[in-house]
Amino acid sequence: MGKIVSIDAMGGDHGLDVTIDGACLALKNQKELSVILFGDESLIKEKLKNRNYPIDKVEVIHCNKVVEMDTKPIDAIRRVGKESSMWGCVNAVSEGKADVAISSGNTGALMGLSTIILRTIDGIERAAISSLWPNKSNYSVVLDLGANIEVTSDQLVQFGILGYSYAKSVFDKDNPTIGLLNIGHEEMKGTEIIQEASLKMKDLFPKDYIGYVEGDNLSLGKSDVVITDGFTGNIALKTAEGTARLIGHFIADVFASSIRGKLGYLIGKNAFRALKDKMDPRELNGGVFLGLNGLVVKSHGGSDILGFSKAIEFSTKLSQSNISSETKKLIAKKKDYESRD
């Protein structure tokens, strides 16, 4: 069965230069995919000229305005409003015209618009940003990565519900394990909010909650799902990205610094190419807004054509999951044990 993805064609650092070719590449790789492009119709159609794509799988809807990368979320809602390509993209999901929306645009604005248009699921107070975190065995689902700076213990538990449902339904992980990011493994470590959340996690996930995990456990893959607040999660994410770039710089510098280094690169070229592919952030491009009555994916603002096409392909996989029903089951379970307290 075909899936329809609505795309904010104007979003991101590179706008149409990436979104149009990225969409065409995704259409080439996924025969059942259809896309709706929101943005300046004349500019979009000009970009589509001489592109190889199935015409019957592409719809263009004109939008007069664009949410810029530095636009404040409140301005995206009140000043730019419903005429923006970002609003149209998300609203298509709300109206049932698309299965999932994707944008490379302003993250805060996209979250604000998505929350206003789609609303949160009953039982979920705040939507959260989730992404996949590479580890030595595969990857972990981590959230929140920046949407919620301050959270309550109950909201952390709700993030646990969202992350568990995501890991189980989208990535077919049976009984995924859950960890709560903290400054230590001991029960007395961390803030009162984290300690309260841990006790609630034990009740809701008696078999799958493994307790606290530390920062180094993210890359070791100690748990399938890692829960934290958006402040801590975003700092951890940016630190990891910076560390990966630093390691890449060190490796390149070593190989270029001497004849022996260049010779070493030639000998191990295939192995280093495999390492580069494994660390390629484009393969995991796409942060998911979990907890909404509809699916929204945030592609990296600086993504290139391949990265954006990968985000679209990931979006279709997300739309084929039963994440919504899994989430609602766990919310009902949470309400049931709370009513017995």
Which pLDDT tens digit goes with each residue over 120-171? 999 999 999 998 888 887 889 999 998 999 999 999 999 999 999 999 888 7
Q: How many helices (H) and strands (E) does the chain have?
A: 13, 11
Domains and CATH numbers, the chain: 3-124+291-322 (3.40.718.10), 128-238 (3.40.50.10750)
The closest alpha carbon to 210, from 186, 241, 231, 179, belongs to 179
State the pLDDT at residue 276: 59
In total, the chain counts a number of residues equal to: 341
- pLDDT tens track for 84-96: 999 999 999 999 9
Query: Residue 123 — φ and ψ, nearest 5°?
Result: 105, -10
Cα distance between residue 130 and residue 169, in whole Å? 14
Tokens of 282: 């484009």
Q: Which positions ≥6 away from 196 have C-beta within 8 Å? A: 153
Name residue 225's beta-bridge partners: 141, 178
Mean per-residue pLDDT over the chain, rounded: 88
Distances (CA, A) of 81 to 8, 73, 110, 117: 14, 10, 12, 11
- What are the tens digits of pLDDT across the range 166-185? 998 887 788 899 999 999 88
Could you tell me the two tokens for 156?
């952390």
Calpha distance 151→13 (Å, rounded): 30
- Tens of pLDDT, residues 248-272: 778 778 777 788 767 766 776 666 5
Phi then psi for residue 301, to 5 deg, are -60, -35
Predicted local distance difference test score (pLDDT) of residue 281: 54
pTM: 0.89
Q: How many other CB atoms are found less than 10 A from the CB of residue 241? A: 12
Quote the longest CA-to-CA distance of the chain.
71
Burial label for 109, CB within 10 Å (0-12, 13-18, 19+), is: buried
